[in-house]
Amino acid sequence: MSTTTDLPAVAVLGLGPMGRSLAGAFLGAGLRTTVWNRTPGRDRELTERGALGAATAEEAVAASDLTVVCVVDHHAVDAILRRDDVARALAGRTVVSLTADTPERARDTARWAAAHGIGYLDGAIMTPAPSIGTPEAVFLHSGPRDLYDRHRPVLELLGGTHTHLGEEIGRAATFDLALLDLFWTAMAGYAHAVAIARAEGVTAGELAPFAQGIAAILPPLFEEFARDTDSGTYSGEINPITSAASTMAHVVDVSESHGIDAGVMRSVEGLARRVIGLGHGTDGFMRVVEVLGRG
């Protein structure tokens, strides 16, 4: 019969909602889990479930070959890990950061880790905290493949799907930022649509099922537009950007007639007009990718 010390071990640094969910999933899978948080007291529920509460970050990382860090950003990662005592304790061990930040910040952390003999993988969590430990969770990882393969059995205990995006350490953060860009601009668009609808006497509830219909047509368009962008064809056969710019102008007009800020749509329309001005009026909307890249 296994004792506690026979179990695979993991340390989790950072016990916000996501960190607590990560630690809880490891505990639920039977791992010996050590937890630590800069603000005392957040480990109570986890220690009551059997987690080992560490008094310091050094103590936490020394308890396992694998440390998972999930804090607000890489500045917080640095504040925790880049202490002499913690760095010494981590030497020869592995850190997996599931902390959102920029690709360059991930690269900087990887350089620091390599200089201190620490294995480093960067990652991103693309689903909310309640998904952790369920099939709905989505994790992205980047960094040395052999290091990922070594720790993959433990990481997969977090549930869901795990995708290794490549050895270049910044790739997970790049995917994370691009997908968050998509999410938040989409949410901003939805909020703006609701504001227009309400101004014209339509409730958000009335609009919602039709908004879902718009959302449903997007996935195949993403695939089509990705091919257009990667090939540089930017086909406008179905909907040229001149037509798109016209509908954008309607949105701006109605918004501003009700005193609704139309800054986001004005910006998008401005991009479309720039594409047209460059002689690409018969192309599709994704031609704006090149305009954006010009700064």
Within-domain flag for 176: no
Of 143, 168, 193, the domain-final residue: 168
Query: What CATH number does the domain containing 47 carry?
Result: 3.40.50.720
Within-domain flag for 190: no
Q: What distance in Å separates the CA atoms of residue 35 and residue 56, rounded to the nearest whole number? A: 9
Burial of residue 220 (number of CB atoms within 10 Å: 0-12, 13-18, 19+):
exposed
Residues 60 and 117 in one domain: yes
Contact by Cβ (8 Å): 167, 149? no
Residues 144 and 54 in one domain: yes
Residues 160 and 210 in one domain: no
Which tokens hold the place of 289? 């990718």
pLDDT (tens digit, 9 = 90+) per residue, 218-267?
999 999 999 999 999 999 998 999 999 999 999 999 999 999 999 999 99
What is the residue-averaged pLDDT of the chain?
95
Within-domain flag for 177: no
Sequence-distant contacts of 150-157: CB under 8 A, at least 24 apart: 150/94, 151/66, 151/94, 151/96, 151/121, 154/8, 154/10, 154/26, 154/31, 154/66, 155/96, 157/25, 157/26, 157/29, 157/31
Residues 163 and 214 in one domain: no
pLDDT (tens digit, 9 = 90+) per residue, 274-283?
999 999 999 9
Domain of residue 42 covers 4-168
Within-domain flag for 265: yes
3-state secondary structure at position 14: coil
Which tokens hold the place of 49? 């479930």
Q: What is the model's pLDDT at position 7?
A: 62
Taking CA atoms, 207 is separated from 111, 212, 213, 222, 284, in Å, by 49, 9, 10, 23, 27
Residues 22 and 162 in one domain: yes
Residues 219 and 265 in one domain: yes
Contact by Cβ (8 Å): 272, 289? no
pTM confidence score: 0.93
The domain total for the chain is: 2
Within-domain flag for 197: no
**What tens-digit pLDDT sequence spans the chain (295 residues)?**
333 445 689 999 999 999 999 999 999 999 999 999 999 889 999 999 999 999 999 999 999 999 999 999 999 999 999 999 999 999 999 999 999 999 999 999 999 999 999 999 999 999 999 999 999 999 999 999 999 999 999 999 999 999 999 999 999 999 999 999 999 999 999 999 999 999 999 999 999 999 999 999 999 999 999 999 999 999 999 899 999 999 999 999 999 999 999 999 999 999 999 999 999 999 999 999 999 987 5
Within-domain flag for 182: no
